[in-house]
Amino acid sequence: MDQNIIKRLVAEIKQDISKIDLKKMETKREELKKQSEKSDFWEDNQKATKIMQNIAEIDEKISSWKAILNEANDLLELTLLEDESLSSDIESQFRKVSDTYNKLHMDLAYAGPYDEHSALLDIHAGAGGTDAQDWAAMMQRMYLRWAESNSYKAKILDESSGEEAGIKSVSIEISGKLAYGKLKGEHGVHRLVRLSPFNANNLRQTSFAKVEVLPEIDEPETVPIDEKDLRIDVFRAGGHGGQSVNTTDSAVRVTHIPTGITVSIQNERSQIQNKETALKILRSKLAQLQIEQHSEKISELKGPNKSAEWGNQIRSYVLHPYKQVKDLRTKQESSDPDKVLDGELNDFIDAFNSWNIK
């Protein structure tokens, strides 16, 4: 077998190990182990369990990457012997090492600081009037179906209905490991082209919806917010929800003054519950902003850029005059929009993750 092929594999493995920074992972593991050795470690059982899980996950990653590098180096040494009788064994072993490496390489797509978290997914109807609000509702159904078919739990946190049809906006909590890592590539503007069911002449209509995907931040200390940077307003909930919701000041609006980010929640009957949900979403929005702006401190964040809100779509869904879904970043395509709109998104998710780690 050609030595250069194996040398290339060894080089790729080393490059990936450099990306994930094994030494930094080992340092973090040692810090966590020191915490686990403290006498009061198990007083907070939930926190202790998470730390032990974190140690186990880091251990597995470190050992997996070290093992694959050793196996590839051993394979390279065998080829240097130039023994023809080993040719078959070397090729067989190379296939095994390559397969294992490819799986580890794909895991790099989920190496972000919040990739293993649950996700908060917001959908906002854009330009296009009633058609856009209907399109937002179609997208809501698409993501709910995706969550269901991939064993994620989905819960609607807040929803604003359209005036004639569809929705103006919706916030969905999608719970489960890697939900954010899998859905982060859905963040952006999605465009629909179809014959309008709301137009008397049945003309072709282009509609837009914006999707925001945020990592769910359950622990306040993960994204600490200074109380003095918050303005909290309460008001009477409107829309659906029943008598007990609409007759009390249970709705909550939380504004992060430095960035101007505002979160309003009115779904729960309790003002306290609405406030907790709003703060959770605010932490998630700030975490996403940190990722986008490469900032370590919340105090250094600038307000989100809204000028390109409907400017650059990431994916087009065409139902007329032909049928096609195309991701404009990865070039991934499907000629069956109905299946995609029924929640079959994994080909697009996988294509994004492959494209994103290059």
Q: What is the CATH number of the domain that holds 59?
A: 1.20.58.410
Tokens of 11: 């080089």
Q: Are residues 197 and 239 in the same domain?
A: no
Please list the residues that pair with 124 across neighbouring strands. 169, 210
Q: Are residues 348 and 208 in the same domain?
A: yes
Q: Are residues 75 and 179 in the same domain?
A: no
Q: Are residues 193 and 310 in the same domain?
A: yes
Residue 209 sits in a domain of what CATH number? 3.30.70.1660
Taking each helix axis as running N to C, give the angle between helix 87-107 and helix 45-80, from 0 to 180 degrees, rounded to the nearest 10: 150
Among 281, 300, 319, residue at a domain's last position: 300
Q: Which amino acid would we find at residue 51?
A: I
Instruction: Per-residue pLDDT tens, the chain, 358 aa: give them.
Output: 788 999 999 999 999 998 888 888 999 999 999 999 999 999 999 889 989 998 998 999 999 999 999 999 999 998 888 888 888 888 999 999 999 999 899 888 888 888 989 999 999 998 778 999 999 999 999 999 999 999 999 999 889 998 889 999 999 999 998 999 999 999 999 999 999 998 877 788 899 999 999 999 877 777 888 889 999 998 877 654 444 445 567 789 999 998 888 988 887 678 888 888 888 889 888 888 887 777 666 666 666 665 434 567 899 999 999 999 999 999 999 999 999 999 999 999 999 998 888 6
Residue 59: strand, helix, or coil: helix
Residues whose CB is less than 8 angstroms from the CB of residue 188 and which lie 6 or more positions away in sequence, other chains included: 210, 211, 312, 313, 314, 315
- Length of the chain (residues): 358
* Cα dist from 98 to 79, 95, 219, 299, whole Å: 16, 5, 38, 45
Tokens of 85: 């009788």
Q: Are residues 94 and 24 in the same domain?
A: yes
Q: Are residues 138 and 211 in the same domain?
A: yes
Q: Are residues 202 and 337 in the same domain?
A: yes
Among 262, 279, 300, residue at a domain's last position: 300
Q: Are residues 128 and 106 in the same domain?
A: no
Q: Are residues 83 and 9 in the same domain?
A: yes
DSSP 123: E
Tokens of 262: 């505002």
Q: Contact at 8 Å (CB) between 278 and 253?
A: yes
Counting the structural domains of the chain, the total is: 3
Q: Are residues 190 and 227 in the same domain?
A: no
Across 83-152, the runs of DSSP E, i.e. the strands, are 119-125
Residues whose CB is less than 8 angstroms from the CB of residue 318 and which lie 6 or more positions away in sequence, other chains included: 192, 193, 194, 324, 325, 326, 337
Residue 315: strand, helix, or coil: strand
Residue 301: strand, helix, or coil: coil
Nearest to 156 by CA among 168, 145, 143, 170: 170
Would the CA dihedral through 320, 323, 325, 328 be positive or negative?
negative
Q: Contact at 8 Å (CB) between 325 and 339?
A: no
The burial class, CB within 10 Å (0-12 / 13-18 / 19+), for 60 is exposed
Tokens of 349: 């998710």
In whole angstroms, give the CA distance from residue 9 to residue 69: 9
Q: Residue 240's domain spans which residues? A: 221-300
Q: Are residues 27 and 129 in the same domain?
A: no
Taking the chain, what is the end-to-end CA distance rounded to the nearest angstrom? 27
Q: Are residues 237 and 180 in the same domain?
A: no
Residue 250 sits in a domain of what CATH number? 3.30.160.20
